[in-house]
Structure 1
């Protein structure tokens, strides 16, 4: 991700996404194994990955199914957890304003945390420009990798009856730590001290929020608050 060039072709989109696929493969396999241990079959696992297409939400769905949560509670939790995608979609939307509504819907439907981070890094190499061909290719290769990996994980799940013993439930967290690191070192538009300050503030808000805010709302609240503090700090000190 660090050595992205300024090309915005479909071929380049696939090439730029390849370094991030290890995250999809690792977490997808982990999800498939965890879902299989929770009682889902391979077909259900593949369909969930293809339709829901949200690693965090899928882990939540599985855990809530095991806990016997109601259908409404699961839907609400997934909605609140995925609400951050609205913010990411609105961030990418200005770069797609010349494209048709259909193309914007396609981009928004397959956008993930990883392809969002990739597109933000790509802006540093293209003069703040994105293209539908590039981002759509990145989204599609990521989508297919996720679905296939989770299916393989489900097929292998029978061999690992207790995946928590191997720490597979922390695979998603590890992937996001890696994405954060790559984003910080690749983004040259912001000073490192500013990025570090926002990270520390966000961690503090998360810690305090865990005490006072329901977990389903925590992510969106901290995202908005952290972004607000980031804008204030940038204007006041940078």
Structure 2
């Protein structure tokens, strides 16, 4: 990455992550097809709901005819972590209009958030609407197209799990985490590595006691609190 914050540079910076969206988008389309959801509904879920992992939950609940209110609440809880991410990103756009902030927040994803946090390490802690728009729009288009393709190809791929498509998103996050730790000079790498291990431990323990729908949100809040305390007390 470099320090350019133009729309074109946003496209270039986001391009390597597109393969992650394509992999998991195809998997969603295939899973949706297997659950009996038609292509139009899959397209609408990906372009209107646009909720990543929550869409898998929505499809599974639709397949068993769950009440609409239950589906809405489940999707909201799973994606509630985006509230924290949007608030973090909004702090870089304090001088922009509320409409521009809504635009960025509406299409924000876990991946574009992580990419933005890595980008700010090369730009003097700055981000631009143009750059973020490019990142979000590319993700949105890739997700929508790959979901529909997955649904269309679903009948031709009886066992999609053997291709390991679900690991694409995990691999992308590992790469983004490495870039974040390697590029962020404002924090001690020792502190960052400690927090990675602490977060892993919290997730492991949380999986036993905390409902999966709010696990990420709860772990994020606890880890952030511990991180602030550790930084002030020892770093």
Q: Secondary structure at the match of 2:213?
A: helix
Per the normalisation by structure 2, the TM-score is: 0.93
Task: Determine the C-alpha separation between the residues in 1 that align with 2:183 and 2:60.
Answer: 35
Partner of 1:34: 31
1:146 is aligned to 2:143: yes
Tell me the CA shift for residue 152 of structure 1: 0.9
Give the CA deviation at 1:72.
Answer: 2.1
- Alpha-carbon distance in structure 2 between the residues aligned to 1:168 and 1:11: 28
In structure 1, the residue matched to 2:96 is 99
Q: Note the C-alpha offset of 1:170.
A: 4.7
- Are the structure 2 counterparts of residues 62 and 183 from structure 1 closer, same or farther at C-alpha, using a change threshold of 3 Å? farther
Q: Unmatched 5+ residue regions in structure 2?
A: none
Would you say how many aligned residue pairs link Structure 1 and Structure 2? 235
Q: Corresponding residue for 2:194? A: 197
In the TM superposition, what is the alpha-carbon distance from 1:128 to its structure 2 partner? 1.0
Instruction: Find the counterpart in structure 2 of residue 177 from structure 1.
Output: 174
Change (3 A) 1:39 1:185: farther
Distance 2:60 2:167 in 1: 14
TM-superposed deviation, 1:86: 0.8
Q: Tell whether the 8 Å contact from 1:37 to 1:163 is kept in structure 2 after alignment.
A: no
Pick from 11, 14, 19 the counterpart of residue 17 of structure 1: 14
Moved more, 25-34 or 204-213: 204-213
Q: CA deviation at 1:12?
A: 1.0
Structure 1 residues 169 and 23, CA, compared in 2 at 3 Å: closer, same or farther? Answer: closer
Alignment RMSD: 1.7
State how far apart, in whole Å, the 2-side matches of 1:166 and 1:26 are.
10
Shift, 1:166, TM fit: 4.1
Q: Does the 8 Å CA contact 2:25/2:147 hold for their aligned counterparts?
A: yes
8 Å Cα contact 1:55/1:172 also seen in 2: no
Task: Return 78-87 or 167-176, whichever deviates more.
Answer: 167-176
Q: CA deviation at 1:218?
A: 1.5
**Which structure is higher in helix share?**
1
CA contact (8 A) 1:184 1:192 kept: yes
Q: Which residue of 2 aligns with 1:63?
A: 60
Q: Counterparts of 1:96 and 1:189 in 2: how far apart (Å)? A: 20
Query: What does residue 234 of structure 2 align with?
Result: 237
Q: Does the C-alpha gap of structure 1 residues 189 and 8 become closer, same or farther in structure 2, counting only changes over 3 Å?
A: same
Over 3 Å counting, the alpha-carbon distance change for 1:67 and 1:202 in structure 2 is farther
Cα offsets for 1:62-109 (capped at 9, x unmatched): 233334433222211111111111111111112111111111110110
After superposing the two structures, state which structure 1 stretch, 49-58 or 209-218, moved more: 209-218
Is there any run of 5+ residues in structure 1 with no aligned partner, and where? none
Shift of 1:186: 3.2
Deviates more, 1:73-82 or 1:187-196: 187-196
Deviates more, 1:137-146 or 1:163-172: 163-172
